[in-house]
Structure 1
Amino acid sequence: MNFGALIIGDEILSGRRSDKHLAKLIELLAARGLKLSWARYAGDDRPRLIETLRQTFATGDVVFSFGGIGATPDDHTRQSAGAALGLEIALHPEAEAEIRARFGVEITPERLQMGVFPVGSEIIPNPYNRIPGFSLSNHYFVPGFPVMAWPMVEWVLDTRYAHLHHAEDYVEQAITVWDAYEGQLIDLMREITADFPGATLFSLPTIAGEGERRSIELGMKGPAATVADAMNRIKSVVGVRGYAWDDKV
């Protein structure tokens, strides 16, 4: 199953705020032996956001969407998600209950707007202030505030996708190969990719500055046993070819 990220907000695209969600989502997935397959950024323009969501819904992937689910005029994610699937939006009864419990006698129609979701949505509980997010067609819509969003993502991963967790069996290992160009090892990379399809090879070259040594971080990620076998092969071949290497910590 593929996991994707959709990070929404004009403030991200303009640089007024820096995105923190991408790195955190990668971390949360990796802690459970999962990985992010793709990420997209989108602004708050509603027609463009509707089209973006049509495309992401069509993938069938699990998508975490951050931002734009408030009730201010520049928040369009809830409405765009409904439009992308041809759904009406309405006040969700469970969301209404949570919001009323949060605000009590201070409830207002504007605050209840935060519980208006596409029809058929399910709520995502918000442990910070009880204003829920929502899920729809494998998409999970959470606020842009990290203090709210990240616990909500963890809740989704641990309640909806616990059966996919394999953190104890999923590892990454790499070596640093010194004084080598990627082109000199491409045949080895192709061989490893073909012989160990259950794991993923990665290669990260460095651009050496003056007085620095050229190097490549060459490694594998995937099931522990497969990675161990692949790395043994890589180390053996690299050594036979005369390259010095060190285990990457």
Structure 2
Amino acid sequence: MNQSSLCLPATEHPPVFGLIIIGDEILSGKRADKHLPKVIELLKNRGLALDYAEYVGDDPARITAVLKRAFASGHVVFSTGGIGATPDDHTRQCAAQALGVDLALHPQAKVLIEQRMHDVALEQGRVYDPGQADNLHRLNMGVFPQGANIIPNPYNKIPGFSVGSVHFVPGFPVMAWPMIEWVLDTYYQEFFTSQAWLEQSVIVFGAMEATLTPLMEAIEQAHPGVKVFSLPSVDHPEYGRHIELGVKGAPEQVAPAFAALLVGLESFQLEIGPKLVRN
């Protein structure tokens, strides 16, 4: 990917990461989504975090609108699904429409797809015929928006593609996950850290979130860079009705913010449970 096609602002901070999951089969319940937890894991393993995710079915107008926002955001966005060559695969076309560019057969993608078809023919004891109708149709999987760069596919050589900081991979996890890893390790390694995020929280009994909100706001205001969170539960198997109240952010920022949170809780005279730490 050249500098003109990878458009990220110069910054010392990690980029915002987003995920788009495309496919009617996910929204209809025919298939359970596995991408969201896996992408969270892949990012976390590199000291990064997923900031948002979005699901969209196979409606071209909706896909185009979602991709327009992704291209305009400047975020690093991974899009899974819909880049095949069957009638219900619209992602490549929608990406081109969202960008206002034409589609074109990517020369490197063409080579890779032809290599794959040649390998399959050899495995089946056939002679590869590049002019055969179904082989010509398979080349459509390498038709990308003009200016795109390929993402290698170690599973079957059929590539994905990137335009700017938006990266398109297949819906099949066995292909998508190593391709996402390749993108992260190739283009965003400078943002990796061994411990970029820490959560410290405490279990609080007998409180209402509205009562604790002023304290939460005060902690965020006094400690820029940390996020305060509250997770209420009414039927937890161990703690029953409670609120998990905590802070998250860079480790060096979390410790003083959490200490201040505990001090602030003392004035409420609440029953306090165990403290929790998550990396």
Question: Shared topology, TM-score over 0.5?
Answer: yes
CA distance in 1, matches of 2:177, 2:238: 42
Structure 1 residue 134: Cα displacement? 0.2
Structure 1 residue 117: Cα displacement? 0.6
What residue is the counterpart of 1:185 in the other structure? 212
What residue is the counterpart of 1:110 in the other structure? 137
Structure 1 residue 8: Cα displacement? 0.6
CA distance in 2, matches of 1:172, 1:106: 57
Name the aligned partner's letter for residue 248 of structure 1: L
What residue is the counterpart of 1:91 in the other structure? 105
Percentage of identical aligned residues: 51
Is 1:198 equivalent to 2:212 in the alignment? no
Structure 1 residue 47: Cα displacement? 2.5
Structure 1 residue 213: Cα displacement? 3.5
Structure 1 residue 137: Cα displacement? 2.2
CA distance in 2, matches of 1:24, 1:188: 34
Contact kept? 1:180, 1:214, Cα under 8 Å: no
Report which stretch shifted further, 121-130 or 163-172: 163-172
What residue is the counterpart of 1:100 in the other structure? 114
Is 1:169 equivalent to 2:183 in the alignment? no
Structure 1 residue 139: Cα displacement? 0.6
What residue is the counterpart of 1:219 in the other structure? 246
Question: Tell me, what secondary structure is at the counterpart of 2:72?
Answer: helix
Question: Superposed, which structure 2 residues align to 1:7-156 within 5 Å?
Answer: 7-104=21-118, 105=128, 108-156=135-183
- Using structure 2 for the length normalisation, give the TM-score: 0.83
Name the aligned partner's letter for residue 35 of structure 2: H
- 1:74/1:232 CA distance change after superposition, 3 Å: same
Contact kept? 1:33, 1:165, Cα under 8 Å: yes
CA distance in 1, matches of 2:198, 2:39: 17
Calculate the aligned-residue CA RMSD, in Å. 2.0
Structure 1 residue 166: Cα displacement? 2.3
Count of matched residue positions in the alignment of Structure 1 and Structure 2: 249
Structure 1 residue 180: Cα displacement? 2.0
Deviations 1:59-87 (A, max 9, x none): 22111100000111110100110111111
Name the aligned partner's letter for residue 274 of structure 2: D
Name the aligned partner's letter for residue 156 of structure 1: V
- 1:183/1:48 CA distance change after superposition, 3 Å: closer
CA distance in 2, matches of 1:239, 1:157: 43
- 1:99/1:48 CA distance change after superposition, 3 Å: same
Gaps of 5+ in 1: none
Question: Tell me, what secondary structure is at the counterpart of 1:131?
Answer: coil
Structure 1 residue 211: Cα displacement? 11
CA distance in 2, matches of 1:144, 1:58: 23
Structure 1 residue 33: Cα displacement? 2.2
Structure 1 residue 111: Cα displacement? 1.8
Structure 1 residue 240: Cα displacement? 4.9
CA distance in 2, matches of 1:52, 1:240: 46
Is 1:158 equivalent to 2:185 in the alignment? yes
Report which stretch shifted further, 181-190 or 80-89: 181-190
- 1:210/1:146 CA distance change after superposition, 3 Å: closer
